[in-house]
Structure 1
Amino acid sequence: MSGLHPLDFRLMAMSQFQILTMLCQTAASTISSDLSQFLTQQIITNQALSLQVFKAQVIALVEQMQATTLANVKYIDQLVSQVILNSQIMSALNTNSYLIANPVVSNYYIQHGQYYVGDYTASDALNVNNTACSCTHKSSCAFQAGLYNYSIRPASNEISLYHPSPPPMFIVPGMMVGCLPHDSMLQSTLECFYNRSCLDLIGISQAIIPLNATVSSRFQVNTTVNTMFEQLFVETWQNSSNFIYYYNACHPEACSYTYTQRGNFLYTMTMLFSLIGGLTTILGILVPLLVQFFRRLLLKCQGEAIATIENDPAGRQLFYFS
């Protein structure tokens, strides 16, 4: 158990930096895994796509992969936080709860910590709201971190409320402390690490170079770690696709296209005359053939004779042809 004040930055700093390292490693491994899986996918089409359609489909697939990756990481992180909260796991730093001895029954009971809600300035120790956030129901309770020159634990009649009074020697800009290092780190910003003076005050080695605030970035100096983690610390996603490779892989034997156009009067008359001319040509070929066919058939029917045998009264047989 540390003797530092629960709001002291030095109490939680090491754990928070370990959490930040794990968040970066999680983001890097997640991106690498999802990209490897994404690159195994294939676009299969029964017809060759045009360049515009190909680019649109690739962009849609990439955006879907990005959204799914970000949603999965956020869901898993929130799930872990809820499991820790509902399991009532006690932090080794005693920031979310701690044991209090009960001399009456020679036993111990768990007391949950509470943090003020609101902004605080070192010049005004009473400049906080009366509202308090309890670690019993939320693990995201957090307060501004500072450096204190004393060690204090709340008395039993204070309902475990961590007071920022007397004021700290120094408020660490952007850094938060609270129930758990994970949740307070997510609510923190890294603005202190852009300032050499701030790094000196919290005891960071001169070998550590401050971050450059002038570098172009989608994340501002006061962006929370949670916002950056939800974007997996990615500045930009670059989509690189090659339509020529796709087209050569498909290797179509033939290409065709259709277009729809509204016809005008001239177009209609041209099509009508073409149709009439086509019918005239077809009939000019078929009619003589049909006439010859029926003529031959008629002549054949007229040339065939049907013999009929009859007996006359004299007993003679007569033959008739029809």
Structure 2
Amino acid sequence: NDPRIVVSYAFQALGAFCELIESTINNSLIQFNSTQYITASVASSDLFQSQAQSFIDQFKLSTTNNFLLSLNMIRKTTQGNAFLSGQLTNYQLMVLDDKQTVLTISMAYSGCSCHLSSTCVNQLSIYKNDSGNVTSFDVPGFYIGCYVIETLLQSTLQCFYDQTCIDELLLYLTTASPINVTALDPSLSSQYSEDSTIEYLLNSLMIEEWNPIQIYDRYYDECQPIECTYTIKTRNSVIYIITTMFGIIGGLITVLKLVVPR
């Protein structure tokens, strides 16, 4: 139950989430781009923009919900079936003296039992033994608990906005080769903050900003209308009506004079 190994798995899980989200979005885009927009007649620019925005909003909502639905189903299934964590962070196994009986003992974090909840966590502390001198480092924003995924979701990237914290963390981690990590820039404009949890990032599919483009001209050219017609509804003025009536009456009088003999 070495915290350094747990951190390693947490980083791997974070990378896997990035790849999974990218794959999910790309697959959804393929399906979305194969959808045809068909109208009986050419839609106006305002109507086109409104309907296109509605389709885009539905795409974003369905893509996000489908991903989160699958993730939450896996989380609940794991907790409901009390699956053992690979690092035995939720249950410890104890073999009795008879060598035939194995007991499972629920782990507890901050007074919270993994038997009752999968979201129990403690502040992550990494220990290092340097020639008998044991030191520890509390990683800001990072936790250890029942499951790697659950603790990752509650963790933040706070440490990775601080170069000093990163350098200190690397001193406690054992790596096969030197790693050069540069701190994130907190001055950059972002909808996420240093204390945003990984779960919050996943709820937004780790997307900083959606940039949909709606081009009415391309839609209009694709339709290639042969002709365009329009109707203008107007109301005649009083003067026009009176003038027209006098004109009709005058015309009738003239016709009657020609037809009716004196």
TM-score, with structure 2 as normaliser: 0.82
Q: What 5-or-longer segments of structure 1 have no aligned partner?
A: 117-131, 151-167, 292-322
Question: Secondary structure of 2:124's partner?
Answer: strand
Structure 2 match to 1:215 = 188
Structure 2 match to 1:269 = 238
State the Cα distance separating 1:196 from its structure 2 match.
2.1
Q: Structure 1: how far apart are the matches of 2:12 and 2:187?
A: 27
Structure 1 pair 19/268, CA: closer, same or farther in 2 (3 Å)?
Answer: same
State which of 169, 173, 179 in structure 1 corresponds to 2:146.
Answer: 179
Structure 2 residue 80 is the aligned partner of structure 1 residue 80: no
Q: Structure 1: how far apart are the matches of 2:118 and 2:105?
A: 14
Q: Structure 2: how far apart are the matches of 1:47 and 1:281?
A: 46
Structure 1 pair 282/109, CA: closer, same or farther in 2 (3 Å)?
Answer: farther
State the Cα distance separating 1:106 from its structure 2 match.
4.7
Question: Secondary structure of 2:228's partner?
Answer: coil
Q: Map 1:217-232; keep pairs closer than 5 Å.
A: 217-232=190-205
Q: Map 1:82-231; keep pairs closer than 5 Å.
A: 82-103=76-97, 106-116=100-110, 132-148=111-127, 169-203=136-170, 205-231=178-204
Q: Structure 1: how far apart are the matches of 2:239 and 2:94?
A: 100
Question: Secondary structure of 1:93's partner?
Answer: coil
Q: Structure 1: how far apart are the matches of 2:250 and 2:92?
A: 103
State the Cα distance separating 1:200 from its structure 2 match.
2.1
Aligned residues: CA RMSD: 2.9
Question: Secondary structure of 1:41's partner?
Answer: coil
Q: Map 1:299-310; keep pairs closer than 5 Å.
A: none
Structure 1 pair 257/44, CA: closer, same or farther in 2 (3 Å)?
Answer: farther
Larger Rg: 1
Aligned residue type for 1:44: I
Structure 1 pair 274/43, CA: closer, same or farther in 2 (3 Å)?
Answer: farther
TM-score, with structure 1 as normaliser: 0.68
Q: Structure 2: how far apart are the matches of 1:21 and 1:229?
A: 12
Q: Structure 1: how far apart are the matches of 2:247 and 2:123?
A: 89
Q: Structure 1: how far apart are the matches of 2:28 and 2:122?
A: 36
Q: Structure 2: how far apart are the matches of 1:215 and 1:270?
A: 67
Q: What 5-or-longer segments of structure 2 have no aligned partner?
A: 130-134
Bigger shift: 73-82 or 197-206? Answer: 197-206
Question: Secondary structure of 1:82's partner?
Answer: helix
Structure 2 residue 223 is the aligned partner of structure 1 residue 254: no
Which string of whole-angstrom CA distances, capped at 9 and with x for unpartnered residues, describes residues 93-142 of structure 1?
111112122336851111111211xxxxxxxxxxxxxxx22211321222
Structure 2 residue 210 is the aligned partner of structure 1 residue 237: yes
Structure 1 pair 84/174, CA: closer, same or farther in 2 (3 Å)?
Answer: same
Structure 2 residue 30 is the aligned partner of structure 1 residue 61: no
State the Cα distance separating 1:49 from its structure 2 match.
1.9
Structure 1 pair 173/242, CA: closer, same or farther in 2 (3 Å)?
Answer: same
Bigger shift: 43-52 or 235-244? Answer: 43-52
Q: Structure 2: how far apart are the matches of 1:185 and 1:82?
A: 16
Structure 1 pair 247/102, CA: closer, same or farther in 2 (3 Å)?
Answer: same
Count of residue pairs brought into register by the alignment: 247
Structure 1 pair 258/227, CA: closer, same or farther in 2 (3 Å)?
Answer: farther
Structure 1 pair 270/192, CA: closer, same or farther in 2 (3 Å)?
Answer: same
Which string of whole-angstrom CA distances, capped at 9 and with x for unpartnered residues, describes residues 161-207 of structure 1?
xxxxxxx7221001011110011101100111122221222226452
Q: Structure 1: how far apart are the matches of 2:39 and 2:251?
A: 41
